[in-house]
Amino acid sequence: MRTLDDLDVKGRRVLVRADLNVPLDGDTITDDGRIRASVPTIRTLVERGAKVVVCAHLGRPKGEPNPKYSLRPVARRLGELLGQEVAFSPEVVGTETVEGLQDGQVALLENLRFEPGEESKDDAVRRAFAERLAGLAELYVGDGFGAVHRKHASVYDVPQLLPHAAGRLIVSEVEVLKKLTEDLERPYVVVLGGAKVSDKLGVIANLLTKVDRLLIGGGMAYTFLKAQGHEVGRSLLQEDQLDQVRGFLDEAAKRGVELVLPVDVLAATHFAEDADHEVVEATAIPADRQGLDIGPRSRELFAGKLADARTVFWNGPMGVFEFDAFAGGTRAVAEALVASEAFTVVGGGDSAAAVRKLGLPEDGFSHISTGGGASLEYLEGKTLPGLAVLED
């Protein structure tokens, strides 16, 4: 895979596919982690005298312009982080804005997903949009790791039309993932949480052939508990996945993988920050309550199971961390990783957001990924279109 250092960029227009898909509250960016992760590549290009054209997506506007998903606030924040103005193009293919760039200047195009061609399943439609994008530049740098598992125009088609290379972020993400798949130290412990088992079927199946210990928390834990025959009350449950989960339990036992589930949970009367709740046994959740976090004994258990690890991958919160009353389990796992001497990877998405919301030091982890879905698909063993095309 060619990298940024293999390109002669001085005086040339370089299209950078970044991942700037940040959470917004109106015009306010509530977590700028992905923007900060994009800065090293953009800054390197600026310092080398390139005319930098950044493109990215935000949210799911479904192929048409929607002010709610404009990247304008992102352009302002990117400019602050770079210490220079970033020209914002109100057009997705902003020819006029791009033509005005001087060496060392940066422009950000409007949300790629305002154009139906970006996500089209029709190869011809996608290719036509890619040709318009490619016409803005002479070189392409792929750096949007959070999107490399998507066969989208800006990720997959454009690099086939221009000389291309991988940016700093993609290089670092791939190096980390290789440490989790090819060159890992044991014990290897994976912590999975989040809402749905169905989102992680492939990665669980693959990890059961590689890990020493698998810790399951969050909403998905209740499907595992139910598969063991326990009462889970009104907790999140995917009944259509029970047979699949029973298969996972059997496979773990057969392979000698220690599969660890919560032993107690915070069971609430309803889904709300101020909901009345109590600590109950994970195997006996009252019929009229729902588990919203792992309990104090489970937090100790999980921390203990992480203590001797040499490699840890964590993806998905242990509870509804957005509510302070139910953030304790997620905090316990995160603090156990900070205290660990292991190579620790936070697998993007809600886990990364939780680290920042809880105020934990980001440098307390070996790596915080920008791409939850992309990381999981890599660990699942899938070919990621946006990486494969950069390797050509």
Annotated binding site for substrate: 19-21, 34, 57-60, 113, 150
For residue 148 the two structure tokens come to 């490399």
Cα 221 from Cα 297, distance rounded (Å): 15
Say if CB 124 and CB 164 are below 8 A apart.
no
Catalytic residue among 194, 218, 219, 349: 349
Q: Tell me whether residue 176 is exposed, middle or buried, using C-beta atoms within 10 angstroms of its C-beta: 0 to 12, 13 to 18, 19 or more.
A: buried
Can the peptide bond before residue 187 be classed as cis, meaning omega within 30 degrees of 0? yes
- Catalytic-residue membership of 373: yes
SS3 25: strand
Q: Summarize the annotated binding site for ATP as residue ranges.
A: 200, 291, 322, 348-351
- Catalytic-residue membership of 83: no
Residue with tokens 């982690």: 33
Query: Alpha helices of 48-94 — where are they, by DSSP H?
Result: 72-82
- Catalytic-residue membership of 151: no
- Catalytic-residue membership of 179: no
Instruction: Give the residue among 386, 372, 388 at the shortest CA–CA distance from 199.
Output: 372
Say if CB 326 and CB 266 are below 8 A apart.
yes
Q: Summarize the annotated binding site as residue ranges.
A: 19-21, 34, 57-60, 113, 150, 200, 291, 322, 348-351
Which is it for strands 277-281 and 264-268: parallel, antiparallel or unpaired?
antiparallel
Burial 129-142 (b: 16+ CB within 10 A, else e): bbeebbebbbbbbb
Cα 33 from Cα 20, distance rounded (Å): 9
Cα 367 from Cα 344, distance rounded (Å): 7
Catalytic residue among 218, 295, 373, 386: 373
Cα 283 from Cα 281, distance rounded (Å): 5
Catalytic residue among 196, 210, 310, 382: 196
Q: Residue 24: beta bridge partners?
A: 29
Say if CB 30 and CB 70 are below 8 A apart.
no
Burial 283-307 (b: 16+ CB within 10 A, else e): bebeeebbbbbbbeebbebbbebbe
Distances (CA, A) of 293 to 62, 205, 235: 33, 25, 10
Catalytic residue among 34, 299, 331, 357: 34
Q: Which residues are catalytic?
A: 34, 196, 349, 373
